[in-house]
Amino acid sequence: MLATKRRDRLPMTLSYPVRLSDFRAALQRMANDRDVEVWFRDTPFPFQSEFDAALRETRKYPVVRANFTRWDKKPSIGSSALEQRYLAGVWTISAYPVLRTKRADARRLLLAQGLPLLASWFTRDRPASWFYGRKVCELLFDPQEPKVVVEERADAV
């Protein structure tokens, strides 16, 4: 089940290229028992200045980031509800804004190419060992081309 966890307010110059309903339509094949949190964030980078520079310099940047995070049980990890969720595994999607003038291009590319690839990432058959650590699938928007590029990686938890 997909549910919006947070939606940041944006300045008038930015707009989210996709909605929760777009994610629901793209991920309808996904198992209904899998909970996915959807976050609409105001920047894909740790610092707003990095995002401002990417927009100003028309560099490619993430517009959608999907994560799977599962912690390994360690003696120091407690038994709170949050910790238990991450020990079981958490799926999240974060959507990021584009310049309002580029929204139509980004939306068209995400609906036609990006979200089907994201759905494939969510529903892919995987070995049990994949479900440990942090896995990431990013849809990067290149405003100069315009095009959407997919990047996958495994991060340390």
Residue 26 DSSP code: H
pLDDT at residue 94, as a whole number: 97
pLDDT at residue 141, as a whole number: 97
State the Cα–Cα distance between residues 121 and 124, nearest whole angstrom: 5
pLDDT at residue 7, as a whole number: 92
**Burial (CB count <10 Å: 0-12, 13-18, 19+), residue 68:** buried
One digit per residue, the tens of pLDDT, for the chain of length 157 reads 788 888 999 999 999 999 999 999 998 866 555 788 999 999 999 999 999 999 999 999 999 999 999 887 765 666 777 777 888 888 999 999 999 999 999 999 999 999 999 999 998 899 988 988 999 999 999 999 899 999 999 987 6
Q: 79 near 56, Cβ under 8 Å?
A: no
pLDDT at residue 12, as a whole number: 96
pLDDT at residue 30, as a whole number: 67
pLDDT at residue 86, as a whole number: 81
Q: 105 near 146, Cβ under 8 Å?
A: yes
Strand 14-15 vs strand 90-95: parallel, antiparallel, or unpaired?
unpaired
pLDDT at residue 84, as a whole number: 78
pLDDT at residue 15, as a whole number: 97
